[in-house]
Structure 1
Amino acid sequence: MRFANRITEMLGVEYPIVQAPMGWIARAQLASAVSNAGGLGIIETSSGELDEIRTEIRKMRELTDKPFGVNIAQAFVRDPGIVKFVIDHKVRFVTTSAGDPGKYCAELKRAGLIVFHVIPTLKGALKAVEAGVDGLIVEGGEGGGFKNPQPVASMVLLPLVREKVKVPIIAAGGIVDGRTMAAAFALGAEGVQMGTRMVSSEESPVHRNWKEAIVAAAETDTVFLNQFSKPALRALRTNRTSRLEREPGPNMMTEFGTAKDLYFGGDMEASIALSGQVCGRIESIKPVAQIIRETVDEFFATVRNLSNAYAS
């Protein structure tokens, strides 16, 4: 069975499954694997390393002939030339996040790009639609990474936003397999975004220690940090993050100063390992193609089983 909805049509993909734009992680190695498997790989900019990102986009052209996108993380990329940077690289799809949805939307759309904005609240959704975005990534508070200090779970946020807007929605936060994808569709989504599941994939560039920590984690093994400031964030529980949960410092971002020692060196106490609550449901490290294939198969099986059980 195949998908045919507004997301697959707009993005030109086989499956409406998008990979989250995680800093340093969402680069060509991972993103091309997602695109080649029929989903949509996204290249990050939140690392701020735009020279490296330029190289990663060139690599994408070599590794896949399938569509892919770029994220503009406004809070982390202060370069005013970021829009020209994306347009010059002939990217078709852009997600904007961590900032005003109206800042770049008009310029990107004038250049012919499709623009989705990441939102954590209904207020944010309405503002993004008013700014003219083509669609929304609706991000529940159970997801990993940087968050609204007042998190709202996907079970509440997705139907709330769906009732108030007409643009297509990609659901993020809590998505890990076909059952959660089917649940997101029941709540109003037409696509899903996966972060933690992709971090723990074979093609993810992070150190195996991080992947194995995700596999070993229980559903209670994340912490929600910095909730009385911005940005809040959800991460794996470690000695470091447990301390920060009890005694947050004046600037949480300084805790990322040795991020690469964690990301690529495997020192789980060197920085903060961002992760969603779905870590508690991930039981093994798998190739991206297998993750996507199993997700799609389980999605259709779930929908079919529900129909047989309740619609007959």
Structure 2
Amino acid sequence: MTNITLKTRITDMLGIEKPIIQAAMGWIARSQLSSAVSNAGGMGIIETSSGELDVIREEILKMRDLTDKPFGVNIAQAFVRDPKILDFIIDQGIKFVTTSAGDPTKYTNQLKAAGLTVFHVVPNLKGALKAVEAGVDGLIVEGGEGGGFKNTDDVSSMVLIPQVCEAVDVPIVAAGGIMDGRSMAAAFALGAEGVLMGTRILSANESPVHQNWKDAIIAADSTDTLFLNRTGPGPALRALRTERSTRILNEGAENIFSEFQDTQAVYFGGNLEAGIALTGQVAGRIKETKSIKQIFDETLAEFGEVTGRLAALSGT
């Protein structure tokens, strides 16, 4: 397996070896997983969407012992109960923040004034233009096929990424459906300069989630996720198909957030019927668990093979 070196605005801005960012998965994106991502050359991200800010503070401190590579923090604005978390992030010397689930004008100026690089997660062109106007350094452009919370009017990565790339000049990280070199090469062909992986990293050896969830991902077809709560109230989301999520699809949910009351039982207890297991459509392409390093090394090697083959086709 021949690895390649990729140099893009993403690697330059973030100081990482591989232009791969880890999704900020609530309760999951903590030091155990995120340090493995950073140590493998990508950008590990610590989550805040769990709302457990005291725990998050400890996880950020743990990262200093587990890796000497760059890592970042996601600020999921809708779930920030204590705005002082921004001061803590800044005081800890964090250099990279992704913001999501909210208005990009809310924290961007404060973070950039403190010298941080800020990328905002967007689900459509309107959100991208607003974020760029707010002064963000880059965008994570997330197609509707990705797992997790979604805009109710979802757009696929194949349409959304080039649409945004044609409209803005900041570097773009493609998210939604990315799990290997083939899909990474497609994202770069659409204009991206980096990729974000969620479900692929969720299923990795270092991921702290229960093996039942990993096994369900491996067994899944690309049709085995559901887009839930499209008409509200609350956000839409994409999740693994289970009896519970199928019921929610058919009957709706009075409060979608109530489906996350037993998150620990789902994520770490392995009872996939106790709540919702947020999972992307790319689960249908994942056939085995691997280490983060193996995933990243194979991704870069396959990226080189695919782009080389395409270059040969064009005679360049």
Question: Comparing 63-72 with 302-311, which one deviates more in the overlay?
Answer: 302-311
Q: How does 1:20-31 map to 2 (within 5 A)?
A: 20-31=23-34
User: How much has 1:190 moved relative to structure 2?
Assistant: 0.2
Deviation at 1:311, TM superposition (A): 3.1
1:191: Cα distance to partner? 0.2
1:231 equivalenced with 2:235 (yes/no): yes
1:123 corresponds in structure 2 to 126
The match for 2:250 is 246
SS in 2 for 1:42: strand
Correspondence for 2:197: 194
- In 2: Cα distance, 1:205 partner to 1:298 partner: 27
Query: 2:28 corresponds to which letter in structure 1?
Result: I
> SS at the partner of 1:14?
coil
Partner of 1:75: 78
Do residues 280 (structure 1) and 284 (structure 2) align? yes
Runs of 4+ in 1 over 2 A off after TM superposition: none
Structure 1 residue 78: Cα displacement: 2.6
Structure 1 position 138 matched with structure 2 position 156: no
Q: 1:67-107, CA deviations, whole angstroms, 9 ceiling, x for partnerless residues? A: 00000001111322121121111111000000000100000
**Residue 264 of structure 2 is aligned to residue 292 of structure 1:** no
Alignment partner of 2:182 out of 164, 175, 179: 179
- Count of paired positions: 312
Distance in 1 separating the partners of 2:115 and 2:47? 20
2:263 is equivalent to residue 264 of structure 1: no
TM-score (normalised: structure 1): 0.99
Q: Which runs of 5+ in 1 are unaligned?
A: none
Hey, what does 2:172 align to over in structure 1? 169
Corresponding letter in the other structure for 2:280 = G
Match of 1:9 among 8, 12, 18: 12
Q: Distance in 2 between matches of 1:249 and 1:25?
A: 24
Of 33, 51, 55, 1:52 maps to: 55
Q: Which runs of 5+ in 2 are unaligned?
A: none
1:301 paired with 2:305, answer yes
The amino acid that maps onto 2:62 is K
1: CA distance, partners of 2:315 / 2:58: 51
1:214 aligns with 2:256: no
Distance 1:85 1:148 in 2: 29
Amino acid at match of 2:26: G
Q: Deviations over 1:102-159 (max 9, x none)?
A: 1000000000000000000000000000000000000000000000000000000000
Separation in 1 of the partners of 2:162 and 2:81?
A: 33
Shift of the alpha carbon at 1:59? 1.1
Taking structure 2 as the reference length, the TM-score comes to 0.98
Q: Name the Cα RMSD after superposition.
A: 0.7
